[in-house]
């Protein structure tokens, strides 16, 4: 199956298992979802469970928050993370703070899914990676599944969480094919995972950049450089322990992040490694991030603005060579 199939199957399982669960968002019903994730679900579950919404992110995200306060378990789909900015007040000032502002009386068990990332020639209003912004906000969890297992299982786990969970799905992954166990279910979301062991450098990343990092590690292995690849999986809260343990083995780190460098998630990871693993490092932590420009439309410029296999390989070689 594909990544989108894995998400659809998780939504289907959740709808079948719990009458409180419903999906809402732009074009999720008759159209089947902007990325075809919900294709076929309207016919299977009906318009009460698969709800098309007006083109008003603030309105339908607010409705999802209200529904969760009323005892429902909504899955709110926002077409792209750029559009989530229209619902920023609802997410940051309402969903993330309600438990605190109510003195612990009211949880907000809403799950908000959205596409993220560039590489599709959709230009500056549809292509940015803003998950690092949301990772700054207390009161929410921020997930970034890169595999079919995580895309499926993290959603099921998120629906069991009493507090808001945001899931960022890199749009380039929707067509990715793979296998999913027949008995696949909820999975833990608290830990990063080492996707490839290595000894020379830790390449820390998430989302679509994970697959680029793994490909780069394969290329580097042919040159005698063994890169350990760590998948963050969850951006808030970060799993410091796995990151520190990896760096204690390799003594070098490169963080690959499609988002912007200034004030991004790469800066946070770098700071935590400096704070907790300084004496394990044989070199400064390096970062390879998206170019600090609005995402270009032209294919060659867009590719140049995002970390690629070649630029990851070159960065690793530079770090390893320059520090012995």
Q: Are 135 and 86 in contact, with CB atoms under 8 Å apart?
A: no
Alpha-carbon distance 256 to 312, whole Å?
8
Exposed e or buried b for every residue in 87-100, given b needs 16+ CB within 10 A? bbebbbebbbbbbe
- In the chain, where does DSSP find H-type helix? 3-17, 41-45, 57-69, 88, 98-101, 131-134, 148-158, 208-221, 240-250, 265-277, 299-305, 309-322
- Name the helix (H) or strand (E) containing 286: strand 286-290
116 and 132 Cβ atoms separated by less than 8 Å = no
Q: Which of 57, 131, 268, 302 is catalytic?
A: 57
Residues 6+ apart with CB under 8 A from 38: 8, 11, 23, 28, 29, 32, 50, 77
Residue 35 to residue 79: CA distance in whole angstroms:
8
CA 208, 2, 294: angle at the middle one, nearest 5?
Answer: 30
Reading phi first (left if > 0) and then psi (alpha if -120 to 50, else beta), residue 226 is in beta
| Catalytic site residue from 9, 26, 77, 126 | 126
- Give the integer Cα–Cα distance in Å for 256 and 204: 6
Q: Is 57 assigned a catalytic role?
A: yes
Supply the residues annotated as catalytic: 57, 126
């Amino acid at each position: 199956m594909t990544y989108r199939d894995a998400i659809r199957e998780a939504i289907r399982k959740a709808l079948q298992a719990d009458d409180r669960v419903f999906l809402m968002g732009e074009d999720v019903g008759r159209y089947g979802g902007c990325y075809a994730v919900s294709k076929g679900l309207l016919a299977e579950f009906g318009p009460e469970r698969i709800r098309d919404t007006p083109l008003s992110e603030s309105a339908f995200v607010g409705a999802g928050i209200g529904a969760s306060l009323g005892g429902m378990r909504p899955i709110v789909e926002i077409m792209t993370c750029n559009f989530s900015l229209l619902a920023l007040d609802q997410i940051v000032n309402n969903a993330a703070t309600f438990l605190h502002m109510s003195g612990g009386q009211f949880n907000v068990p809403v799950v908000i899914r959205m596409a993220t990332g560039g590489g599709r020639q959709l230009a500056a209003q549809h292509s940015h990676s803003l998950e690092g912004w949301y990772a700054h906000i207390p009161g929410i969890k921020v997930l970034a599944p890169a595999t079919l297992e995580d895309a499926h299982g993290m959603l099921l786990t998120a629906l069991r969480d009493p507090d808001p969970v945001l899931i960022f799905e890199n749009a380039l992954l929707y067509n990715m094919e793979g296998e999913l166990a027949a008995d696949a279910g909820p999975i833990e979301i608290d830990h990063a995972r080492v996707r490839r062991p290595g000894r020379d450098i830790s390449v820390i990343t998430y989302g679509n950049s994970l697959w680029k990092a793994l490909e780069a590690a394969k290329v580097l292995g042919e040159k005698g450089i063994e890169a350990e690849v760590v998948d963050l999986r969850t951006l808030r809260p970060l799993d410091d322990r796995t990151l520190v343990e990896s760096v204690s083995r390799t003594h070098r780190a490169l963080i690959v992040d499609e988002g912007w460098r200034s004030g991004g998630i790469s800066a946070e990871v770098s700071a935590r490694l400096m704070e907790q693993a300084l004496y394990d490092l044989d070199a400064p932590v390096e970062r390879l991030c998206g170019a600090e420009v609005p995402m270009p439309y032209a294919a060659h410029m867009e590719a140049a603005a995002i970390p690629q296999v070649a630029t990851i390989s070159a960065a690793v070689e530079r770090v390893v060579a320059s520090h012995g």
